[in-house]
Amino acid sequence: MAKITVIGIGPGSLMDMTPRARKAIEDAQVVAGYHTYIKLVESLLDGKEVIGTGMMQEIDRCRMAVEKAAAGQETVVVSSGDAGVYGMAGLVLELVLQRPEGERPEFGGTIAGISAVNAAASVLGAPLMHDFAVISLSNLLTPWELIKKRVDMAGQGDFVIALYNPKSKKRVQNIEEVREILLKYRAPSTPVGIVTAATRPDEKKVLSTLDAFTKEDINMFSLVVIGNSQTYVKEGYMITPRGYGNKEEGL
């Protein structure tokens, strides 16, 4: 038996990968991941066996990785951002624990990475300075009615809301429904930031409003941050005050 470790490789740039994550990849014999994520770490893969699969093949990919570790090869499974946030950490751990104790590879844990929401926030300025909710709009694994309920409750709670998987070629109406839900609780002028391909060479940032943001170019590489009732934009930066102004006038 060998060890299987799940790695968050960060949002895209190798500069944003932690040294611990990089070392784990370098020490591995087998690296498994979605094709797009494998390409992000391609320069680290010389001499390694690579298990690359497409979207919607997560279970097969992770099962193959667990089998490699059980057969005695040091294995890592890579996810973009943080592997514990909409990544492969849970699936790999479930597959390992389903095996009889004597046939399990060692679970090497999850190596944290910079999440997409952190990367996008750093591009926008400081939009996550107060309580925020992270919601995926993909309804492949979660019923759409439940997603809408979560959006509604986050809107009522005045959370800053970060949307993962906001829009795909087939799923174009969901984000419009989210906009309509939140307009019940927030002003049309509420700031919205859209960051696409954060930290990658084609990174793009757009500042818009709750009333108009769905007119912008949004895709599966975008992360959308919708401000709360206190969020504002100044000189191109999106800021959500923490409340220091209550302690010192002018802040």
- Read off the pLDDT band of 198 (50, 70, 90): very high
Q: What CATH number has the domain bearing residue 137? A: 3.30.950.10
- Give the pairing of strands 75-79 and 160-164: unpaired
Structure tokens at 84: 């514990």
Residues 47 and 95 in one domain: yes
Distances from the Cα of 214 to the Cα of 7, 139, 196, 210, angstroms:
33, 18, 14, 8
Mean pLDDT of the chain: 95
pLDDT above 90 for 243: no
With b meaning 16 or more CB within 10 Å and e meaning fewer, what string describes 44-83? bbeebeebbbeeeebeebbebbbbbbbeebbbbbbbbbbb
Residue 53 pLDDT: 82
Q: Do 97 and 172 fall into the same domain?
A: no
Percent of the chain whose pLDDT exceeds 90: 91
pLDDT value, residue 56: 74
Task: Provide the number of structural domains found in the chain.
Answer: 2
Domain hosting 220: range is 117-239
pLDDT in tens, 25-72: 999 999 999 999 999 999 999 999 999 887 778 999 999 999 999 999
> Does the pLDDT value for residue 246 go beyond 70?
no
| Domain shared by 104 and 122, yes or no | no
Question: Confidence band (pLDDT; 50, 70, 90) for 245?
Answer: low
